[in-house]
């Protein structure tokens, strides 16, 4: 048995998220089905972490163990023959010594995308969310610093989540913006060691509320001091969220 | 009765093209249904031109005649309430004197999009076509000039098309390229007075064939001198094509 690592991209629109579950088709299920066909044996595929229902991935990383004569770098192509069009293995390699896609992950970067426009644009709607109320981009950039650091993100987590601690470290929040098709595209990149359920989508919603004038800097401060869920913006829809990349602090192995 | 002009965007994936037809749902049909609901009468919606099955539009222009008390600039919003998510009216206005979305059109710009990558990327697949064989971008830019001018594009037209003349004038062909998600995105913008059926997709296929080394400059010259269909590249799939804009030589009325 050898361990292999995969770099995977998927359009999450039609999936109930990464993780195998009863009531929806998951990306993990499709990956494990493809592995079963290629390696002729039930294969568990472990990702860097779950992505929620409807969330996309440009650079999800997974690992699995298998016995195969297929050269490691050819596995991507062979798996793709058994995967649906909305999932693609971009790269495959033998995993480094002791590698675990989930436990070895050091940093994850998510991107939340919106476009600012008086009207909906169907060509932007799949990976980005329409925002009609004007947003002040300079205020959006200004407030991004409020979310950086080791903090208690309890107010940014779906209530009822069972986690040991709601403290997480965010390394950076970066706002990029550009024009296309007559409207402004905004990308909010959030990089951290790990995230709570709904955390990135609620950070994005809070930043947007602030930049629209619906939430004050004081309120955002209170979301951390009093962990007040009323002081944060709405959790944005899943389709605007993409897992961009996962870093392992290892030399380019994928 | 007044004439109104609309700026419309649509994701063509699930449509049989712009024009009403028997065996598929068309964008025109959805537009006319929405008008019928809003204006309470059968309304013909005329576009700048047809787009083929699966082709997208970022800036299609249409007109229709109606009797209504809805202010012209509000019509966009009202029509959108009756349109499916993959069609959106971006703007509405009273049409200038004598305006006809089809006959008054002076220039159309189409964009053909591909991405160059050893592996398929589901996040790019909806509006762009995967090209696996390496493409020399500088050769792509070099050959773009070969299609500019007033020429007989018979070899670039689907055989069997019934048109009076296959001479068309192309004003410009521009190649843009950038990087995203680890692969190169290429955009081929073609601007002209009008195009034959499949012409832009066949120009794109011919340019790509040249830049991949499968077609010589001499062969492309022969496609115009001998109108030799064997001297052109393949007609690229419809999903990579977007009608970007239509110009009327009028002051911004939309």
Express each pLDDT in A167-217 by its tens digit. 999 999 999 999 999 999 999 999 999 999 999 999 999 999 999 999 999
pLDDT at res. B9: 98
> From the CB of residue B120, how many other CB atoms can be counted at a distance below 10 Å?
20
State the helix-helix crossing angle for B217-225 and B199-211, rounded to 10 degrees. Answer: 150
Residue B122: pLDDT band by 50, 70, 90 thresholds? very high
User: CA A166, CA A226: separation in Å to the nearest integer?
Assistant: 13
Distance from CA of B226 to the nearest CA of A (A): 39
Q: Answer yes or no: is the ipTM higher than 0.90.
A: yes
Q: For residue range B104-116, list pLDDT tens digits in order.
A: 999 999 999 999 9
> Within chain A, which residue ranges are assigned CATH 3.30.70.580?
2-104
Which residues of B are less than 8 Å from A89 in CB distance?
Answer: 119
User: CA A36, CA A79: separation in Å to the nearest integer?
Assistant: 10
Topology classification of domain B2-104: Alpha-Beta Plaits (3.30.70)
Please identify every stretch of chain A with a pLDDT value under 50, giving residue numbers as ranges.
none
> Within chain B, which residue ranges are assigned CATH 3.30.70.660?
107-245
Interface mutation vs chain A, best among B123, B176, B179, B241, most A CBs within 10 Å: B123
| Catalytic residue list contains A52 | yes
β-bridge pairing B129-131 and B107-116: parallel
pLDDT at res. B228: 82
Chain A, residues 56-115, CB within 8 A of chain B, namely: 56, 58-59, 76-77, 80, 85-91
pLDDT at res. B222: 93
Which residues of A are less than 8 Å from B59 in CB distance?
Answer: 181
Residues 6+ apart with CB under 8 A from A252: none
- Contact criterion met (CB < 8 Å) for B120 and A80: yes
Asked if residue B182 has pLDDT above 80, the reply is yes
| C-alpha dist (Å) from residue A78 to A68, A100, A160, B129 | 12, 22, 41, 21
Which residues of B are less than 8 Å from A12 in CB distance?
Answer: none
The domain defined by A107-245 carries CATH number 3.40.50.300: no
Nearest by CB: B11 against A10, A122, A181: A122
- Contact criterion met (CB < 8 Å) for A119 and B89: yes
Prediction pTM value = 0.95
């Amino acid at each position: 048995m050898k361990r292999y690592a995969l770099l995977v991209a998927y359009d999450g629109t039609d999936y109930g998220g990464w993780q195998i579950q009863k009531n929806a088709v998951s990306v993990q299920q499709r990956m494990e089905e493809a592995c079963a066909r290629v390696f002729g044996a039930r294969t568990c595929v472990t990702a860097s972490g779950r992505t929620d229902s409807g969330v996309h991935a440009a650079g999800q990383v997974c690992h699995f163990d298998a016995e195969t004569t297929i050269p490691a770098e050819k596995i991507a192509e062979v798996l793709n023959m058994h995967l649906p069009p909305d999932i693609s293995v971009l790269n495959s390699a033998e995993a480094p010594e002791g590698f675990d896609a989930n436990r070895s992950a050091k940093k994850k970067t998510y991107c939340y995308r919106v476009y600012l426009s008086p009207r909906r644009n169907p060509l932007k709607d799949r990976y980005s969310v329409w925002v009609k109320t004007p947003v002040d981009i300079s205020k959006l950039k200004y407030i991004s610093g409020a979310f950086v650091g080791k903090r208690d993100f309890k107010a940014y987590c779906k209530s009822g989540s069972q986690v040991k601690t709601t403290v997480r470290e965010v390394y950076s929040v970066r706002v990029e913006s550009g024009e296309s098709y007559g409207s402004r595209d905004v990308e909010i990149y959030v990089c951290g060691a790990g995230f709570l359920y709904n955390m990135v989508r609620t950070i994005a919603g809070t930043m947007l509320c602030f930049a629209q004038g619906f939430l004050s800097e004081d309120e955002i401060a209170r979301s951390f001091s009093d962990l007040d869920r009323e002081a944060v913006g709405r959790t944005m829809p899943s389709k605007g969220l993409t897992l961009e990349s996962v870093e392992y602090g290892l030399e380019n192995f994928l």
